[in-house]
């Protein structure tokens, strides 16, 4: 398996080339925004904690090592990084104690925070689960995304949920031990949490400080159509982190399927969504995902089939769109 290295001259060269192609100038050994470069400034800012930090999902930057990823995200304008700490991620679970501090240090050096990570953790006894949560907590990470849970066909829906309730309780206890929040992402499909109502069943009686929802409006819209605000209202007390992306339905080979698109080009009613975020006073970091075709970056590729500058430009555009919406909604 290819190993992510925070020190790679080749990757440094590729990163600088990609930044330059996206219109981000270089000063000395660091990348800086064009306006900043013209003023002769080239120093990285100190790490800051934004009130509602916008993080880039590091899956889309798997083609970069820790330092290059952090510097690129900072110069695009993100507040932080939602770091993949799972198999094939930026940090492998079995190496979390050694590599997570390196990744967090790279982010902080670039003026970013790492308020959240993405894991495959679904239950407390899982291999590396406690080590990941302990290390993350030591590094100042406050939130993590859980893995997904399947419905067992041999059991009824209620029997599945009863089994997973016990699993959630045990995991909430482990989260409390390390002062970290675990969020289950609602997702399109037939796994637990696709219909948000079953997620509410699992979360009832648990302390939202320890276990809750990482709410994904794209998947909620795909599964709930016009009714998604009802599910959002139901579980909003448990929402601590948010995933943002857009989509549209397209017909392919006679069948409708979800097609991811840049923010604002799809079906998600972001105006309604952010009005509810404000009304229900939902707080916490936002993770921006780019799942439309980007030369493999959308799937976590470690080698792109398009220029890196194209990926960076797409990130800049989606981030600009998102910040505009937040401002209009009075959330920034």
**What count of residues does the chain have?**
332
- Three-state DSSP state, 163: helix
Quickly state the pLDDT bin for 191 (edges 50, 70, 90).
very high
Q: CA angle, corner 31, sides to 27 and 36, nearest 5?
A: 65
Number of H helices, E strands in the chain: 11, 12
Of 258, 266, 257, 320, the residue nearest 288 (C-alpha)? 320
Distance CA 241, CA 282 (A): 9
CATH superfamily assigned to domain 9-39+47-328 = Divalent-metal-dependent TIM barrel enzymes (3.20.20.150)
Distance CA 229, CA 220 (A): 9
pLDDT at 11 over 60: no
| pLDDT tens for each residue of 212-260 | 999 999 999 999 999 999 999 999 999 999 999 999 999 999 999 999 9
pLDDT at 1 over 90: no
Q: CA angle, corner 293, sides to 74 and 66, nearest 5?
A: 30
| pLDDT tens for each residue of 103-138 | 999 999 999 999 999 999 999 999 999 999 999 999
Is residue 210 within 8 Å of residue 235, measured between CB atoms? no
Dihedral sign for Cα atoms in the order 276, 278, 280, 286: positive
pLDDT of residue 51: 73
Distance CA 174, CA 117 (A): 16
pLDDT at 32 over 60: no
Is residue 136 within 8 Å of residue 130, measured between CB atoms? no
Q: CA angle, corner 261, sides to 239 and 55, nearest 5?
A: 40
pLDDT of residue 12: 47
| pLDDT tens for each residue of 146-181 | 999 999 999 999 999 999 999 999 999 999 999 999
Burial of 165 per CB tally in 10 Å (0-12, 13-18, 19+): middle
Phi/psi at 78 (5° precision): -75, 160
List CB contacts of 280: < 8 A, sequence separation 6 or more: 232, 233, 236
Residues 83-105 have a mean pLDDT of 98
Residues 186-193 have a mean pLDDT of 95
**Residue predicted with more confidence, 5 or 207:** 207
**Cβ neighbours around 21 below 10 Å, total:** 15
Q: Pinpoint the alpha helices (H) of 77-156.
A: 96-109, 129-138
Parallel, antiparallel or unpaired: strands 30-31 and 26-27:
antiparallel
Distance CA 77, CA 134 (A): 29
Distance CA 213, CA 18 (A): 35
Of 212, 220, 161, the residue nearest 187 (C-alpha)? 220
pLDDT of residue 30: 35
pLDDT at 41 over 60: no
The DSSP symbol for 86 reads: S
| pLDDT tens for each residue of 278-328 | 999 999 999 999 999 999 999 999 999 999 999 999 999 999 999 999 999
pLDDT of residue 332: 86
Structure tokens at 151: 């419905």
Compute the 3-state secondary structure of the chain and give helix, strand, coil in percent, each to the nearest 5: 45, 15, 40
Domain ranges of the chain: 9-39+47-328
Structure tokens at 141: 């990470």
């Amino acid at each position: 398996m290819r190993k992510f290295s925070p020190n790679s001259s080749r990757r440094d060269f590729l990163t600088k080339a990609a930044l330059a192609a996206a219109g981000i100038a270089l000063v000395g050994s660091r990348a800086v925004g064009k306006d900043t470069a013209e003023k002769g400034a080239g120093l990285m800012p100190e790490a800051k904690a934004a009130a509602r930090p916008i993080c880039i999902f590091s899956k889309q930057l798997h083609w970069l090592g820790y330092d290059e990823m952090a510097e690129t995200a900072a110069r695009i304008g993100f507040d932080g990084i939602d770091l993949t700490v799972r198999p094939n991620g930026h940090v492998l679970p079995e190496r979390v104690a050694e590599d997570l501090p390196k990744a967090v240090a790279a982010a902080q050096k670039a003026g970013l925070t790492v308020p959240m990570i993405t894991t495959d953790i679904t239950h407390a006894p899982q291999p590396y689960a406690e080590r990941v949560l302990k290390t993350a907590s030591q590094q100042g990470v406050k939130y993590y995304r859980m893995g997904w849970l399947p419905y067992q066909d041999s059991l009824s829906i209620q029997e599945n949920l009863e089994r997973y309730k016990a699993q959630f309780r045990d995991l909430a206890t482990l989260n409390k031990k390390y002062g970290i929040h675990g969020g289950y992402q609602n997702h399109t499909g037939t796994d637990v949490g696709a219909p948000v109502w079953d997620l509410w069943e699992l979360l009832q009686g648990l302390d939202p400080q320890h276990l809750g929802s990482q709410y994904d409006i794209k998947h909620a819209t795909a599964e709930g159509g016009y009714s998604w605000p009802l599910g959002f209202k139901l579980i909003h007390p448990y929402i601590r982190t948010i995933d943002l992306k857009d989509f549209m339905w397209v017909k392919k080979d006679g069948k409708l399927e979800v097609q991811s698109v840049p923010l604002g080009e799809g079906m998600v009613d972001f105006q309604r969504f952010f009005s509810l975020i404000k009304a229900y006073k939902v707080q916490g970091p936002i993770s921006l995902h780019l799942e439309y075709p980007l030369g493999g970056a959308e799937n976590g590729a470690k080698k792109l089939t398009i220029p890196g500058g194209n990926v960076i430009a797409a990130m800049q555009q989606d981030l600009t769109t998102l910040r505009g919406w937040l401002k209009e909604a009075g959330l920034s």
